[in-house]
Each structure stands twice: as structure tokens, then as C-alpha cells.
Chain A
């Protein structure tokens, strides 16, 4: 930003100097406006320094152990494509956790949405109408599941852990019933064409993730909805007395994560060209882990979308490095567990400030 002021500038002709001064003044004005923006970016990077370092370390390990197989464009795209689906779920999860809740049912909702969007009936109708009908189905199913979760928690007074645990069981069960435990192959041609493949050299799925993340960031950091989410998660009683409809807001948060699951289901269906009741297994754990190592407070009141994106990338890159080195899934799980512990320890260190 301030290159011109730090560089030793050669002496100037008077007119030229005046012109430069004017330009500089304008630039200064502009700088002033952007300073805050840059400060925010800087602070963001500062907060996420640990995550950046962790990701860089992983990349180095990948480079050393797998060399070109790791560093190839193809492999990077593979990592991103894998990260995209769980990433979208994690963005939704960030909202719920920031708002003081938790959602254990995300994987099951992904499965149910994927199945419902690919039943023969849905596909036939989509053939007649438009492939977007499948997309809509998944989003509505996801959103509806979230709505049920939210209503049970807000108005039924069931704690989030239990309510979403119940949803986990029943949504997956319903998915099995609907699909008769069979894998449903997508036959609508427009659907796969629309979502598979690349756009500007980057897989469309990754674009979807990017768009969801950016929208998530804007909503959390720049809108009243985001501000209220922080308040509801930080001190629900204070939020209520401040005039926020805490119960309605909580319902909305679960709808948000539900819709995210619907989006993730569509992405998964397009990547695998199938809908299945076994989709999204253990997504809840991966998503919660990514959110927490990203720096969102599990007790609510503080949340970071950027952190979550890093969290997702770290876990996906880790899997990739392990796979490239032919290491077992079990070893991978152990390392994942270690990462979670270290990250949370660091986080509590930071959070444990003396109170006045």
C-alpha cells in the first residue's frame, strides 16, 4: 500500500512534484479507505497464521514424500474437489456452532437429500421439467430436515445434541427405506453435464464451494443475521433481552446448515453420479473437526469462515498425502485426532483470558 513512501524517490521537477503530491494525496485518501479493509485482511491472516503454517507444513511433507505426484495440477484439483463437498457442509456447520448449537445429522441429511433427488420418480419428473428439479428437491429436503431440527431445539426445548442425534438416525433410516438400500444411478443427462467438468480450468464443484464460502463470509461478518448469530451464541439471555428473537434465529441457523447439506448432496451426486443412503458417512465428525480447528468456538459466540476453509483444506490435504503414500486410513485417523487435540489446546490457551 505504501510502496511510494518507503522507496527513496529521486528529486522531481516542481510541476511534476505538485502533480505527484496531488496523486499521492488522492492515493492516501484511497489508502485510508482501504486501510481498514487491509487491516481486516491482515488480522484475518494473523488469526489464521497457525492454520497457514500447518497447511504449508503438510504441503512440504507431501512434496518430500510424493514429489510430483503431489504437486501436479491434477492432484491439487483432486484435493479441492474432495474438499468442496465437506467444505460446503462445514460452512453451514460454522453458523450453527457460532450460534451456540451443534448438528450431528449433517451426514444423514446429505444421504437423504441425495437419495430423494435421485429416486426414479424425481428423475423422471426432472426429465420432463428440468434437471434443476433434482437440485431443488435436494435443497428442499435438506432445508426441511434443518427446519425440523431447529423447531425441535427452539420450540421443543430438546438440546441440540439429542435432537440432531435423533435426526441422524431417522434421516439415514428414511434414506435407506426410500432407496431400498440400493445405489441409485443418475440418468438425467442434463444434470451431470451441468455440474461435472471444469469452468475456467477449475472443477465446477470447487466453484460452488467458493461461492458458498464467500456468501457465508459475507453473511457472518457483514450482515445483521451474522451479528445476531454471534450474539445468540455468545450470550443467549442477553440477546433475548436485547430484543432478538433467539428462538426464530436458532431455527434459521439449522435451516441454513440443512440447505448447505442439500447443496453438498447435489455436489456428491454429480461427483459419483449416484444417490445412496451411504453417502455422507461421518460427515458430522469431519465438519465439526474442520470448524473447530479453524478457530470457531465450540461454545458459540465466535466464528470464522476463513478458518473453517483452512480446516477443511488441512484435513483433505492430509488424507491426500496419506493416500499418495499408501498409508492406511487408520493411521490417517490417528493423525487427524492428534491435530484436533493440538488445535483445541491452542484455542483454549488463547481463549483463557483473565476476566474482570
Chain B
């Protein structure tokens, strides 16, 4: 299936290959993560790496950044065979990587993070002024002068942290920049900004390897594409312009998938009100009203940092509200009490899967059942086989790969970890389900399945609230949409009566029409 003739018409045509990877093999105990992968990247191009969750994309770039050593295969850098022995060596060649899971140190400042490991110093003393000045210049180059170098990284929003990672990557003399799902934590505006930066870089001759599950992004930014499937290259050097999306999906999944949202039920929502939020105010939002009926899906659209996650977490009691009430089924919840929310049948699938969701060292099935333990226990004793069975059923329908619920979650790929967190909340029989970015990092095929599952739950009478940075997702999945801007709801209405550009306008300007 490998395309033998590289494309001629790409913008990068004529440039020699910057990097060639040949027959890369990487084994983990019991898993062949990469079974012979080829990749060649030219200077000045954006090379997209596509593949389903668990296809081996992150593993491949970890080989490239030398955080893993390949078991077999050859890496040719600027024409000569190279062995990348340490991450430092890879960086020295000009390979910079931004990993799928951000790897910043929360307790250090922006500047300290940017220059971590290659501090600007003389005679052992750090030259703080110079470092700060250079950090400021880097941030300005990325179009984010508003991030002050003295801030602690832990206090920044995910999007801003992403920018800091970018600045860190660019603080070296970079020839190849690797971005592993950078847009997963970004909203449309931020993505546009990211693309501007990427174009700037490619114009300067920097090559970019770009990983994303959002195919429309590939259309906008990509030059050529390599597709991985089950740890093998199934196509390489495809020109973006000549490859239809359906073809890409077929290459990735090996089947044709209709990328569609489940149909909305015809009936209107004159069912009972399940979730009723009145005048809720909290840390980053004020005076939010939200009513969700049984069987209804309500979407919250808005920019990252607009306060949508805070709203969900406050409804769930994980944050304390300063004002207002949350009622479920007519009963008021205790303020700032997760227990009271859980007892009332509320579930929250949190935004940050690593820090807020996963028990990394525990087996998949244990991660899935942890919120529903009571269901599997007889007078405190757990029924393991019943637990496994339930987890297996769900992970099969979410297509968690590799299958098998006994492996530790740590060893799963990012998108599959996300499915595990989601499975936890689908398993728990909630009356109200709050989903914060439920499809972050999930591939096309599994996404459709997740949408169907969410709709099925709603049809069973669950009240669902979905937060997503992808406007398309909110509009396609939800019955009713609330647009949040800087902590206030600026629009509320049926999803069918508003389109994407209108939402974007509202998000940016927030004028209530």
C-alpha cells in the first residue's frame, strides 16, 4: 500500500529529505507498538502523522526524540545515518518535541520552564535578566506577549501552557519541530494562532511533524501525510491536496466510517427538569442559569478559559460556589460537596485525564469501575469477574486498544486513556452526566461511537451537559446550546437555530443579540 512515488507538487518540493526513518521497530512487553515504520520529512514542510488511537504515533515521535530507543531500524538525519542516544543528543541536532501530555514543571516560572535544562548562566549563576528578556521575545514571536515570564506555570490555562511548551521548543535552534496533538487543548482561535506560528516556522525552513485527530486541521496546515495503522506505515508522502478525507479515514481505520452525529429524537423536551442551576457564581463565572431536562443534551460552547470547566466542577461540588443553587430532581445539593452531588446521581468526566481522572498504575477495569464499586460489591466484597465483564463490554464498544482490561492504564495511548475515563462515567448510572471535553484526543472512528453512546444515554433519560472546544461537536451533538464568554452565558437556544460562525462571533464579541 505504500506509495512509492513521492509527490512532486508540494511546496517543499525540491528540498532534500531532512529526516528519514526506515523500518523502525519498537516492542513493549506483550505489545508490538511499531512494526516497521517509514517516515521521511523534508525541510520546510508540515508533515502530518495520522492514525487511530494506539496506532503508534506517539511512540514513533518518542523514538525520534530519543526518549525511547528503537529495537530495529535506521534513522538518517540530513543524509547521514544517526543514532539518537539521548534526548539531549536529539535536541542538539535540532529536534524539538512537544509531547501529547504536557511536561512542564508547575512550580517553576514561565522563564524557568522555557530554559529548563539549558539555563542561561555564567559561572554557575543564572543570568535572570537575559533569560527573562529572551523568554519575553520568544513569547512575543508566538504572539502571546500577555503571558508574563514571572508567572508560575501551574497558574496558567492549558492553552497558555501549550504556548510555553512551544517557546521551550523554540528556545533551541530547531530544525524539526514535533507537535503531538497540540490542538487537543486549544480552541479554534488558539488553533488559528498556532497555525500562524507554524507557517512562520516553515517559511524559515523548519520542518514540522504534526499529529492530530482533527482532519480538517490537516487540510488547513498540512503538506504531506503519513498514515500509521497498528504500528505499520500504510501510506507515506501523500499530498494533502490530492487525498480526500474519506480516503484518509479508510487508510487509518481500514473501513469506511460515516462521520456523522446521531440523529436527535423528534420529540421536544417537555420532560421533567432534572438539573436546575440558578444564579450560580464561582471563581471564574457569575450568575449562570442552566436547566436540563431528562433526555436532553445541553452543550456549552466557548473559548478555553471562558469558565466552562469551572461551571461543571462547581455544579459537581468539586469547587465551592459563592452564590446560587444547584438542584437535582427538585432537591438542592450541598454547596461544595462532591458527595452530595454523587448521592443525587451526578457524574463528572473531568477535563484533565491524567491529573483528575486516571489511576495510572491500576488496571483498566479498575479505572472503569472505581465510581460504581457499590454495584459490584456484596457487603463490601468485590466481584472481580463481574467487574471485568462490565469493563470489557464498555471498552469493546468504545474500541479501547489493545483490548484486554487487565493492563495498567499507563501503557495505553492517550486517546485510549481518554476512552477509559469516559467509560467510567458511562458505566455509572447517573441521572445527570457532566462531560468535559469527552472526545479529546479520540480518533474519528471512536468519536462516532462515543456520540452514539452519549445519545443513547440521553434517550434513556439521562440529562447530559457537554463542554467542548470544538464548536462543530457542540452543535452536532447537543439539543440546546449555551455560549459562554468570560464567565457569563451570552446566548442560549436550540442547537439547530445557530451555526458555527454565529457561535464564533458570540464567543469573540459576546454581544447578546
Contact = CB atoms under 8 A, between A and B. Distances in A.
Contact of B361 (A222, A234, A244, A354): A234
A286 B358 CA distance: 33
B381 A223 contact: yes
Contacts of B382: 222-224, 227
A241 B338 contact: yes
Given A223-B381, A224-B380, A225-B380, A238 B371 contact: no
B221 interface: no
Most B CB within 10 A of own CB, among A225, A234, A238: A238
B415 to A, nearest CB: 11
- The 6 A-B residue pairs with the shortest CB-CB distance, nearest first, are A243-B342, A224-B373, A234-B359, A242-B371, A223-B380, A224-B377
A144 interface: no
Interface string B327-359: 000000000001100100001101000011111
A68 interface: no
29 contacts: A222-B381, A223-B380, A223-B381, A228-B370, A231-B359, A231-B370, A234-B360, A235-B358, A235-B360, A237-B356, A238-B350, A238-B355, A238-B358, A239-B370, A240-B318, A240-B338, A241-B348, A242-B424, A243-B339, A243-B371, A245-B339, A301-B359, A353-B410, A355-B101, A355-B410, A356-B58, A356-B411, A356-B414, A356-B417
A230 interface: yes
B52 interface: no
A51 B342 CA distance: 42
B462 to A, nearest CB: 16
Contacts of B360: 234-235, 355
A245 to B, nearest CB: 5
Contacts of B413: 356
B338 A301 contact: no
B359 A356 contact: no
Nearest to B424: A242
A325 B321 CA distance: 67
Contacts, number: 83
Contacts of B350: 238, 241
A224 to B, nearest CB: 4
Interface range, A side: 20 to 34
Nearest to A232: B359
B17 interface: no
A354 B67 contact: yes
Nearest to A233: B359
A81 interface: no
A150 B411 CA distance: 34
Nearest to B428: A243
Contacts of A172: none
A237 B347 CA distance: 15
A182 B221 CA distance: 82
Contacts of A243: 338-339, 342, 347, 371, 428
A279 interface: no
Contacts of A355: 101, 360, 410
Interface in B373-422: 373-374, 377, 380-382, 410-414, 417
B364 to A, nearest CB: 14
B370 A242 contact: yes
B68 interface: yes
B213 interface: no
Given A240-B338, A243-B342, A228 B373 contact: yes
Given A237-B355, A238-B358, 17 more contacts: A222-B381, A224-B374, A227-B382, A228-B373, A231-B370, A234-B362, A237-B356, A238-B357, A238-B359, A239-B359, A243-B347, A243-B371, A243-B428, A355-B360, A356-B101, A356-B410, A356-B411
A241 B346 CA distance: 11
A230 B359 contact: yes
A224 B370 CA distance: 9
B377 A223 contact: yes
B447 interface: no
A235 B475 CA distance: 34
Interface in B307-325: 316, 318
Contacts of B362: 230-231, 234, 301
A356 B58 CA distance: 8
A241 B356 contact: yes
Most A CB within 10 A of own CB, among B318, B373, B411: B373
Most A CB within 10 A of own CB, among B100, B359, B380, B413: B359
B4 to A, nearest CB: 33
Interface in A233-274: 234-235, 237-245
B455 interface: no
Nearest to B408: A353
A353 B413 CA distance: 15
Contacts of A244: 370
Contacts of B339: 243, 245
A240 B356 CA distance: 9
Interface string A286-308: 00000000000000011000000
A39 to B, nearest CB: 11
Interface in B141-186: none
Nearest to A240: B338
B293 interface: no
Contacts of A224: 373-374, 377, 380, 382
A82 B444 CA distance: 62
Interface string B418-436: 0000001000100000000
B381 A227 contact: no
Contacts of A227: 366, 370, 373, 382
A81 B417 CA distance: 47
Nearest to B374: A224
